[in-house]
Homo-oligomer: A and B are copies of this chain.
Amino acid sequence: MRSNPPRLEPKADKDTVRRHNLSLVLRAVHDGGEATRAGVAARVGLTRAAVSSLVEQLLDSGFVTESGKTFSGQAGRPGTVLKVARTGVAGLGVEVNIDYVSVCVTDLSGDDRVRLAEHTDNRAAPPAEVLAHAAALASRALGSAAELDLRPVGVRLALPGLVSGGTVRQAPNLGWNGVAAGELFARALARPLPVGSDNEANLAALAELWFGGVGRERTFLYLSGEIGVGGALVLGGELLRGAHGFAGEIGHVVVDPAGPACRCGSRGCLEQYAGQRAVLRAAGIDENAGLPGMAELESRARADDTRAVEAIRRAGSTLGLVLSGAVNLLDPDAVVLGGIYRTLMPWLAPPAARELDRRVVSGLWSGDSGRLRASSLTGDASRGAAALVVRDALADPAAYA
């Protein structure tokens, strides 16, 4: 029982329905964690016979596995347990940020099975070189994936800037303008895989939504603090992309119109107050010290170094100011702080929360509202990217069999 090849002629209706149902059944198994055929049938509203036939196809094509274990707690005959496969179809995510590249392979369940990261100054080299370097790291990850019997069916790039149709329109901190990142990456990757691209904060926000235990908070603003400050808004479980795909640029909200020049061409952007370099500089640490610099900042703050603590507090207060405006505008359930902000929360969060308390007109952010919190994950953008590839496969498994 092999899947039919995709057809586009009008007669394809029956195929289309079967393909759709195949995805329904696969997603029921995926979302359920562990499921029986009877449980899946009840959940998706198809007959037991139809589900069995579809499950056969999913077993044949390696999307689903069956264990000897049986459920007997439910009504009817005990059934063997179905799970999505730990091998086979997988997703590859590649984050190219200002001073690092990070790669992740997730399996069908979204678990991150391969992780690789390298610290490297991506401002120093031309885009083609940076992307070739990322492709080399991705190739190593593909090798590790093969050893685990995982077969990534696509790549998604996570990029720190405005991305549209595979092209980086603007990534001020990389100095990229109109860079066809998807194409350059695909050319450098030995394996011919479909390559998609997206903003890194968007993908980190999706990772937080899917794996971060956000729970009922399906409407939240996500910030990724790095050298740049990225943002993304998730509304009822979906990304708000805006009219042209450029929403979320909270790093370029103006704090002081006469403030320091920003690489975007404006002045006084949030990034100039709460970005990694600004915080390091204010703490008296080399602003280009990258991750070791951040570790130094944290250790000084832990040792109650006044300058370090003050630098983080001031960033938190400015962050809170801008966040209060965003919350007044968007009314999210929560604000989730990722990237460098995660480890700085003890010093960053109180002054930020104070501004939110004072300035959010709904009053829902008063006192200890618990609405401002650290992200649950690190290295989330590449995982979100990989999971998005997997999500496409779950939506139409027949196309990936």
Q: Footprint of B on A, CB under 8 Å?
A: 162, 169-170, 172, 219, 231, 233, 235, 240-250, 252-254, 257, 264-266, 269, 321-322, 324-326, 328-333, 355, 358-364
- CA A244 to CA B217, docked complex, whole Å: 12
Do the beta carbons of B329 and A254 come within 8 Å of each other?
no
Q: Which residues of B contact A363 (CB under 8 A)?
A: 169-170
Do the beta carbons of A358 and B242 come within 8 Å of each other?
no
- CA A359 to CA B329, docked complex, whole Å: 18
Q: Which residues of B contact A162 (CB under 8 A)?
A: 361-362
Do the beta carbons of A242 and B264 come within 8 Å of each other?
no
- CA A169 to CA B331, docked complex, whole Å: 14
Q: Which residues of B contact A249 (CB under 8 A)?
A: 328-329, 331, 361-362
Do the beta carbons of A243 and B331 come within 8 Å of each other?
yes
Q: Which residues of B contact A364 (CB under 8 A)?
A: 244, 246
- A and B contact pairs by CB, cutoff 8 A, 11 listed: A172-B361, A240-B330, A241-B331, A242-B332, A244-B331, A247-B331, A249-B329, A252-B325, A252-B359, A257-B321, A329-B329
Picked from B244, B248, B331, the residue with its CB within 8 Å of the CB of A246 is: B331
Do the beta carbons of B254 and A321 come within 8 Å of each other?
yes
Q: Which residues of B contact A332 (CB under 8 A)?
A: 242-243
- Which 4 residue pairs are nearest across A and B when measured between Cβ atoms? A242-B331, A253-B325, A249-B328, A247-B331
Do the beta carbons of B359 and A266 come within 8 Å of each other?
yes
Do the beta carbons of A243 and B231 come within 8 Å of each other?
no
Give the nearest-CB partner of A249 in chain B.
B328
Do the beta carbons of A242 and B219 come within 8 Å of each other?
yes
Determine which residue in A248, A254, A324 has the highest number of CB atoms from chain B within 10 A of its CB, and name it.
A254
Do the beta carbons of A243 and B219 come within 8 Å of each other?
yes
- CA A266 to CA B363, docked complex, whole Å: 11
Do the beta carbons of B330 and A242 come within 8 Å of each other?
yes
Cβ of A340 to closest chain B Cβ, rounded Å:
20
Picked from B233, B242, B250, B325, the residue with its CB within 8 Å of the CB of A254 is: B325
Q: Which residues of B contact A233 (CB under 8 A)?
A: 329
- CA A359 to CA B257, docked complex, whole Å: 9
Determine which residue in A245, A253, A265 has the highest number of CB atoms from chain B within 10 A of its CB, and name it.
A253
- CA A324 to CA B253, docked complex, whole Å: 7
Do the beta carbons of B243 and A328 come within 8 Å of each other?
no
Q: Which residues of B contact A264 (CB under 8 A)?
A: 361
Q: Which residues of B contact A219 (CB under 8 A)?
A: 242-243
Q: Known contacts A248-B329, A330-B240, A330-B247; decide if A266 and B361 are in contact (CB<8 Å).
A: yes
Do the beta carbons of B361 and A250 come within 8 Å of each other?
no
- CA A208 to CA B252, docked complex, whole Å: 29
Give the nearest-CB partner of A231 in chain B.
B329
Give the nearest-CB partner of A218 in chain B.
B243
Do the beta carbons of B252 and A328 come within 8 Å of each other?
yes
Query: Can you add 15 more A-B contacts, CB < 8 Å, to A242-B332, A249-B331?
Result: A169-B362, A219-B243, A231-B329, A242-B330, A246-B361, A247-B329, A249-B362, A252-B325, A252-B360, A253-B324, A254-B321, A264-B361, A265-B358, A326-B329, A329-B330
Picked from B245, B246, B325, B333, the residue with its CB within 8 Å of the CB of A325 is: B325
- CA A322 to CA B257, docked complex, whole Å: 10
Picked from B170, B240, B254, the residue with its CB within 8 Å of the CB of A359 is: B254
Q: Known contacts A328-B253, A361-B266; decide if A235 and B240 are in contact (CB<8 Å).
A: yes
- CA A333 to CA B231, docked complex, whole Å: 19
- CA A245 to CA B361, docked complex, whole Å: 13
- CA A362 to CA B329, docked complex, whole Å: 20
Determine which residue in A241, A246, A358 has the highest number of CB atoms from chain B within 10 A of its CB, and name it.
A246
Q: Which residues of B contact A331 (CB under 8 A)?
A: 241-249
Q: Which residues of B contact A355 (CB under 8 A)?
A: 257
Q: Which residues of B contact A170 (CB under 8 A)?
A: 361-363
